[in-house]
């Protein structure tokens, strides 16, 4: 057989091979992920093992940045006492911020999804209104909350004065008190994140067959039993995905915190993301900032693995065995 005819036949075979075609279709996406995700991640991890500063090349220092931040592990389980106190405060703030905000967002979002899933007038308009907090740019909503929590012009303080909760001349320093500042930024994050949870869970609720509810009514099930044995099991995969994204977005939040408080007062609202920016970009210590960012990876992987195991327990919905 002639070489040209052989190569033509091979090309025709490759064109009809689904795996080969899939490889070429996936190649641009893979290149995009490598260039804009894998490379920056790898560079950040590399910088965390150096003493690189802005404007100068760094040297390899191994785990020195992590020892400075985390503490000396040779001291036993109290190693953190010799670490950077501001870093450990940011870890605490990040976990508190993520757990409280994500829990409340899920509770309110699920309630709104169940409510919007019912037949009611102007349902389409209400869904559009619910989405408004999510589509407004983060910086703009943060500036709005900055005015809401302003010490002198706060509408919250004005309402409390009108209701007689506080004196007419009394002012509340919402963003100047450590406890109030934490509560304020959590409230702002909840306001922004609830629409995402609600609309996504609503989409999952509308995939549940109505025949299941009709059969449960015939069997005499009440609303709680229908939710417990029909709604919740059917939307568990959606819940796992939504909560994973909610936790990831909340854990890595930067814009909202930076615009509202810059991490203050006295580092009370510093998250790991804002501290990394402050140390790495504003402070010029790129190696230390990269180490703080890299320290976030184990927490993010834990959230992803939790979601993955949650999905594995519901394989029966895809025709597989329930592990």
129-138, 148-157, 206-215, 285-294 — which one is most confidently predicted on average? 285-294
pLDDT at 194: 94
Instruction: Give the distance, in angstroms, between the CA of residue 64 and the centroid of all CA atoms in the same chain.
Output: 29
pLDDT, one tens digit per residue, over 50-82 is: 999 988 888 899 999 999 998 877 766 677 778
Query: What SS3 class is residue 207?
Result: coil
For residue 98, pLDDT beyond 90:
yes
Q: How many domains does the chain have?
A: 2
**pLDDT, greater one: 39 or 316:** 39
Query: What SS3 class is residue 153?
Result: coil
Residues near 209 by Cβ (< 8 Å), separated by ≥ 6?
none
**DSSP per residue, 230-297:** IIHHHHHHHHHHHHHHHHHHHHT--HHHHHHTTT-STTTT--HHHHHHIIIIIS-BHHHHHHHHHTTH
Selection from 140, 256, 261, 250 nearest residue 196 by Cα: 250
pLDDT, one tens digit per residue, over 174-198 is: 999 999 999 999 999 999 999 999 9
Give the whole-angstrom CA distance, residue 132 versus residue 134: 5
Domain of 24 in residue numbering reads as: 3-47
Residue 175 maps to a domain:
yes
In this structure, the answer to whether residues 12 and 145 fall within a common structural domain is no
In this structure, the answer to whether residues 94 and 23 fall within a common structural domain is no
**The pair of three-digit structure tokens given for residue 13, joined into one six-digit string:** 């075979």
pLDDT at 184: 95
Give the whole-angstrom CA distance, residue 80 versus residue 323: 39
Average pLDDT over residues 105-125: 88
Give the whole-angstrom CA distance, residue 318 versus residue 308: 15
Please, what sign has the CA dihedral across residues 178, 182, 187, 192?
Answer: positive
In this structure, the answer to whether residues 40 and 166 fall within a common structural domain is no
Question: pTM to 2 decimals?
Answer: 0.86
Residue 35 maps to a domain:
yes
Average pLDDT over residues 91-116: 94
Are 275 and 90 in contact by the 8 Å Cβ rule? The answer is yes
pLDDT at 247: 93
Are 127 and 116 in contact by the 8 Å Cβ rule? The answer is yes
Query: What SS3 class is residue 50?
Result: strand
Residue 257 maps to a domain:
yes
pLDDT at 163: 86
In this structure, the answer to whether residues 168 and 30 fall within a common structural domain is no
Residue 187 maps to a domain:
yes
Residue 205 maps to a domain:
yes
Q: Tell me the pLDDT band of 323, cut-offs 50, 70 and 90.
A: very low
Q: Tell me the pLDDT band of 1, cut-offs 50, 70 and 90.
A: very low
In this structure, the answer to whether residues 186 and 232 fall within a common structural domain is yes
Residues of the chain with pLDDT > 70, as a percent, come to 89
pLDDT, one tens digit per residue, over 231-275 is: 988 888 888 889 999 999 999 999 999 999 999 899 999 999 999
In this structure, the answer to whether residues 215 and 148 fall within a common structural domain is yes
Give the whole-angstrom CA distance, residue 255 versus residue 138: 7
In this structure, the answer to whether residues 145 and 18 fall within a common structural domain is no
In this structure, the answer to whether residues 148 and 268 fall within a common structural domain is yes
- The mean pLDDT of the chain is 86
Average pLDDT over residues 107-136: 87
Give the whole-angstrom CA distance, residue 72 versus residue 28: 44
């Amino acid at each position: 057989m002639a070489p040209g005819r052989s190569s033509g036949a091979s090309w025709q075979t490759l064109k009809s091979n689904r795996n080969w075609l899939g490889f070429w279709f996936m190649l641009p996406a893979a290149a995009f992920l490598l260039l804009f995700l894998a490379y920056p991640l790898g560079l950040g991890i590399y910088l965390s093992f150096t003493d690189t500063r802005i404007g100068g090349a760094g040297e390899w220092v191994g785990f020195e940045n992590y020892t400075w931040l985390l503490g000396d592990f040779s001291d036993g389980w109290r190693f953190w006492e010799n670490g950077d106190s501001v870093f450990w405060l940011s870890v605490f703030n990040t976990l508190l911020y993520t757990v409280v905000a994500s829990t409340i967002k899920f509770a309110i979002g699920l309630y709104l999804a169940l409510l919007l899933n019912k037949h009611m007038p102007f349902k389409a308009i209400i869904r559009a209104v619910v989405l408004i907090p999510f589509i407004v740019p983060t910086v703009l909503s943060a500036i709005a909350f900055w005015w809401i929590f302003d010490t002198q012009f706060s509408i919250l303080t004005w309402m409390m004065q009108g209701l007689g909760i506080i004196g007419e001349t009394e002012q509340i320093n919402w963003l100047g008190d450590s406890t109030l500042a934490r509560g304020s930024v959590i409230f702002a994050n909840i306001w922004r994140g609830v629409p995402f949870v609600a609309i996504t869970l609503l989409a999952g609720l509308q995939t549940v067959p109505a025949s299941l509810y009709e059969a449960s009514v015939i069997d005499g099930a009440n609303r709680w039993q229908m939710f417990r044995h029909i709604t919740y099991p059917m939307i568990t995969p959606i819940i796992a995905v939504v909560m994973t994204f909610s936790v990831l977005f909340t854990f890595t939040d930067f814009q909202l915190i930076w615009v509202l408080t810059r991490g203050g007062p006295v580092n009370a609202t510093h998250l790991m993301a804002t501290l990394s920016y402050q140390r790495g970009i504003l402070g010029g210590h790129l190696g230390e900032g990269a180490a703080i960012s890299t320290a976030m990876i184990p927490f993010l992987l834990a959230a992803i693995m939790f979601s993955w195991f949650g999905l594995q327990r519901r394989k029966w919905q895809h025709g597989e065995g329930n592990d």
